[in-house]
Structure 1
Amino acid sequence: MLVLGVLTAVCLCSVVSCTYGRWADKLHASRANEVDKPTSQPHIIFVMVDDQGFRDVGYHGSEIKTPTLDWLAATGVKLENYYVQPLCSPSRSQLMTGRYQIHTGLQHSIIRPTQPNCLPLENITLAQKLKSAGYSTHMVGKWHLGFYKRSCMPTQRGFDTFFGYLLGSGDYYNHYKCDSPGMCGYDLHEGEEAAWEQDRGIYSTHMYTQKAVSILARHNPKRPIFLYLAFQAVHSPLQVPARYLERYKSIPNLHRRKYAAMVSCLDEAMRNLTLALKRYGYYNNMVMVYSSDNGGQPMAGGSNWPLRGSKGTYWEGGIRAVGFVHSPLLVKKGTRCKALMHITDWYPTLVTLAEGTLDEDQNLDGYDVWESISEGRPSPRQDILHNIDPIYTKAKNGSWKAGHGIWNTAVQAALRVGDWKLLTGIPGYSDWIPPQTFSTLLLVNRWHNERVRWDRGKSVWLFNITADPFERVDLSRRYPHIVKKMLLRLLQYDKTAVPCRYPPKDYRSNPQYNGGVWGPWYSDEDEVEDENDNALSNYLGRRRRKKKVKRRGKFKRKA
């Protein structure tokens, strides 16, 4: 009996063991199938280039050869009514938040390396949204959204990995940057640490491309990926391997020649990236966005011809950008999209494509424009607030009188509504500079001697951008009623603005105090104090805005 009992127990154990084994195998197989099942969410590859001028691509008539960019754009959708901001940090902040500068407090200039400032932490970034939608998120290249405390770093703002630099520019080979005499340091990071071991003195365009390709090679293409590749090129300093200069010997201007060579190197990088996307199985379920962060800088080789102005200005040459979308998922390929688009639109567009969620309390300024891009439908966007800068009020002749009692035209501001564009204050350097006419000396031989003389009393401009994209005919005196309407629109936007964040230099930022490396300098105690200060300033700002609304209400009732 004892033997029989033992045999029965052994048999039962065997059955249970076999049953559990089969169940465990099935569970493991189902999980493996889940992992191996191709994603319905598209891979998102966002390529941001630095300071590429509107003309500086082959399909816009440039003498610079860009066969890869031309092919990607020709077989995708060219964005021919696409706007960014005139400087680095503003464009990148609006890409990452889908919000205008007036709504993040970054209305003025750029984030300086010595400022205790960064993209405000209360803003949910594009990377955070995509990560919560199940994406693996990776950033390679330029950050330029602040780093004074650890919580401002890319890996704290939604990116699983970061390899790149934190400042606005630097040496393409040794990655050193001097902000001012005695303020110099190393600026290449892997995650949150200096990337000394990764640095082999490789030209940055090649190095960042190699890093992007290695990320694609390691990742499983059946899981969605967001790769944000923000090239250093073609920002100054003008540095490039000698072999790329050979094809541009005919360009007499040395700055233009180097710049052209840098663009060609960038074009080659885009070819290698595209080949990697195909090789590793991403291409057929991929959306690639290509965008410049602002207009070109003529004194550093760039060209925005025939547009007016340059980087750092609110003329079309500073804010109308090279951009296209390349994807097998596009409904209408090989088209030109003339629908009005702004860099804030990528946030809702890409989050929606990624099957993510958008929260109402985010108060986005961007629109989902995928149907406009993919199917050629009208844009949901009717206007763009290019900016209102409350600090930059240098227009000597600006006044409330010039603004019809509605707006102080000393304030630098720019607004687009439909076909109309309004500028106030000092929009910035305003020449039209054709390629090859600028030299390393002063710009003496201008095609047009049309520089605006600020002492002649001008502080308001109005253009019909659809009819006059080169901003040659100011219509502000002919259509004062349009000017008034647009000034009222500016005023409405200004009522929603948050206080401007532009703190003074903090000498603790000096890399000498941080092992010779640019990086966070706030301690944990500083962070807590900073968060308390921000909470207090946000509370006071809300109270001030409420009081303003109440005062306006009382005034209207009295009237």
Structure 2
Amino acid sequence: MERVFVNYLVLFAALISASFSATVQSTPKPNIVFVLADDYGYNDIGYHGDQIKTPVLDRLAASGVKLENYYVQPICSPTRSQLLSGRYQIHTGLQHGIIGNSQANALPLDSPTIADKLKESGYATHMAGKWHVGFYKEEFMPHNRGFDTYYGYLGGHDTYYTHMINYKSKPYLDWRDETGPVFNESGLYSAQLLTNRAIRVIKGHNPDKHPLFLYLAYQSVHSPLQVPERYEKQYKHIKDEHRRLYAGMVAALDEGVGNLTAALKDTGLWDNTVFIFSTDNGGTVLYGGNNYPLRGWKGSLWEGGMHGVGFVAGGLVDKRSAPAVAGTVNRELIHVSDWFPTLVRLAGGSLNGTKDLDGFDQWDTIIKGNKSPRKVMLHNIDILYRRRGKPLEKYVHIWDTSVRAALRMGDYKIITGEAKNGSWVPPPDGRHYDLPVIKDDPNKNLWLFNITGDPYEHHDLSNKEPEVVEVMLRMLKAMNETAVPPRFPPSDPQSNPALHGGVWGPWQ
């Protein structure tokens, strides 16, 4: 009798264990939808400025977590490479410039992409939009870097209707899917094409088979300034043509995100989705963008070049937050390279097989409000960029201050070399803004700011706090010693699309 009772207990325990295991295993992995806007200014989302309206993005951000100490890179390829790899550009050789369509250059194959890792974790992986991390060989194409499907363009920018980019002043098609060039989309606006493709992916997705990873990298709002008239008409009161067209392009982007999220809700995927919105760099003032009150714009090492617009929303954010995070403003230090470990671990994946990452898992920082594990953030070290001024003798034993570089350490940010376009540009709304007058010596090549106390970079502390300068220059030196040589090859004449059916694509 006693043996029967013991056997019964063992059987009961096994049933309970099996039931618990089945419950754990039946908990679905989260869907992950990452939307990346292009050249989107800090002042150009509704909750940062009042000239351009973004009701969809505002509602999404208000339902989740606004990332207000979030950083990307000053230009396109570096941001995208760090998002996909979790590694600083000094560790991938992409620390100088962007990847040109005719350059034999790409994000190296020595480490998996985020799509590779999520696919390894059981995800269906899809991409629509701008690639811009190299395509000169077939193995660098999106469908060979972890994405099951791809639809969009490979280079840095296209026309929005004809989907072409020039080579030696002649336009060639840069629009394709994973099977090859797509020739029949001319005349259709890219923001709508990309949104519609993403919606088709969502509607065709079977959540019973796989969780979803969707990377939607909009062309909007990069130049050229093109938009259907109905969007521009919403801003007919804006007199500046560039700003008016840009505002219309933002409206089209906002509508696209609204249609995308509606599809996620209609298909029942939203409740188990983490939705991330980010820009790739600051806005381009010459093409209608605005980063006020930040200093500088796209391409610069000032805050306006790389202090990103970003937020996290989605049905799963509310479910997993403790306490609820709706409307939270997160001011912890977060970098675009952090998405790689954050999302791979959120998906239950492994970081095995990756090279040393520069990103940190920020999920508990975002959802629970924990302190960021990131204390230091390298903006870049570019030894190929033109030098500015002469190395300061005071620090020459540590660092050549004529070299273009920038680093964040806690509250402090240091810039050396050529920072580029460092003015403050007010939003063109007709109001008066009392902005500082820049009187920097053209050979000045060292700045130090307390970004927490002076987020708009008005007060250079480099002469007042030499001890901080020295510590940060030593840190730049140590980081540079880990760098791989930068790759920036000349244009390859074999890339000429005229040699490949009039279409941009792999040529080696």
Q: Which residue of 1 aligns with 2:9?
A: none
Does residue 467 (structure 1) correspond to residue 459 (structure 2)? The answer is no
Q: Percent identity?
A: 51
The answer to whether residue 369 in structure 2 is matched with residue 382 in structure 1 is no
Q: In structure 2, what is the equivalent of residue 89 of structure 1?
A: 77
Give the corresponding residue for 1:527.
Answer: none
> Which runs of 5 or more structure 2 residues have no equivalent in the other structure?
1-21
**Equivalent residue for 1:373, pick from 356, 359, 366:** 366
Give 1:172's match in structure 2, choosing from 157, 160, 178: 160
- Residue range with higher mean Cα deviation, 445-454 or 247-256: 445-454
Deviation at 1:393, TM superposition (A): 3.5
Contact 1:135 1:225 in 2 (8 A): yes
**How far apart in 2 are the matches of 1:178 and 1:213?**
30
Once the two structures are TM-superposed, the CA of residue 281 in structure 1 deviates from its matched residue by 1.5
Asked if the contact 1:400/1:406 (under 8 Å) is kept, the reply is: no
Q: For residues 466 and 477 of structure 2, what CA distance do their matches in structure 1 show?
A: 16
Partner of 1:431: 423
Confirm or deny that 1:517 pairs with 2:503.
yes
Runs of 5+ consecutive residues of structure 1 not aligned to the other structure = 1-33, 439-444, 523-559
Residues 184-241 of structure 1: CA deviation (Å, up to 9, x unaligned): 31000111511114x2521000110000000111111232010000000000000000
Matched with 1:194 is 181
In the aligned structure 2, how far is the partner of 1:179 from the partner of 1:389? 27
When residues 46 and 506 of structure 1 are mapped into structure 2, their CA distance, relative to the original with a 3 A threshold, is same
| CA drift at 1:81 | 0.2
Cα separation, partners in 2 of 1:361 and 1:143, compared to 1, 3 Å: closer
Check the 8 A contact 1:39/1:224 in 2, yes or no. Answer: no
Deviation at 1:284, TM superposition (A): 0.5
SS of equivalent residue, structure 2 residue 449: strand
Residue 67 of structure 1: aligned partner: 55
Contact 1:56/1:302 (8 A) holds in 2: yes
The answer to whether the aligner puts 1:98 opposite 2:98 as a matched pair is no
Cα offsets for 1:302-321 (capped at 9, x unmatched): 00000000000010000001
CA contact (8 A) 2:126 2:214 kept: yes
The CA RMSD measured in Å over matched residues stands at 1.7
What secondary structure sits across from 1:394 in the alignment? coil
Amino acid at match of 1:266: L
How far off its partner does 1:52 sit? 0.5
Is this contact kept in 1: 2:66–2:311, CA < 8 A? Answer: yes
Contact 2:106 2:134 in 1 (8 A): yes
**Larger deviation, residues 403-412 vs 85-94:** 403-412
Partner of 2:302: 315
Give a deviation string over 1:452-495, Cα, whole Å, max 9, x none: 6453x311000000000000000000001100000000011011
- Residues 194-343 of structure 1 mapped to structure 2, 5 A cutoff: 194-197=181-184, 199-222=185-208, 223-330=210-317, 331=321, 332-343=325-336
Check the 8 A contact 1:51/1:295 in 2, yes or no: yes
Q: Give distance in 2, aligned partners of 1:195 and 1:150.
A: 17
Partners of 2:453 and 2:31 in 1: how far apart? 38
Q: Which residue number in structure 1 is paired with residue 133 of structure 2?
A: 145
- Could you say what secondary structure the match of 1:317 adopts? helix
Q: For residues 437 and 315 of structure 1, what CA distance do their matches in structure 2 show?
A: 23
Question: What is the aligned partner in structure 2 of residue 47 from structure 1?
Answer: 35
- The change in CA–CA distance for 1:365 and 1:429 in structure 2 (over 3 A counts) is same
**Counterpart pick for 1:403 among 395, 401, 405:** 395
**Aligned CA distance change for structure 1 residues 451 and 180 (closer, same or farther; 3 Å):** farther
> Which amino acid in structure 2 is aligned with residue 409 of structure 1?
T
Partner of 1:415: 407
Residue of 135, 146, 159 corresponding to 1:158: 146
Distance in 2 (CA, whole Å) between partners of 1:374 and 1:211 is 30
Aligned-partner Cα distance in 2 for 1:364–1:49:
24
Q: SS in structure 1 opposite 2:316?
A: coil
Per-residue deviation, 1:329: 2.4
Higher helix share: 1
Shift in Å, 1:180: 3.6
- TM-score when normalising by structure 2: 0.91
Matched residues in 2 for 1:453 and 1:463: separation? 15
Distance 1:264 1:68, change over 3 A: same
Q: 1:393 to 1:446 in 2, by over 3 A?
A: farther
Higher relative contact order (CA 8 A, sep 6+): 2
What is the TM-score when the length of structure 1 is the normalising length? 0.83
Bigger CA radius of gyration: 1
The correspondence for 1:132, drawn from 120, 124, 127, is 120
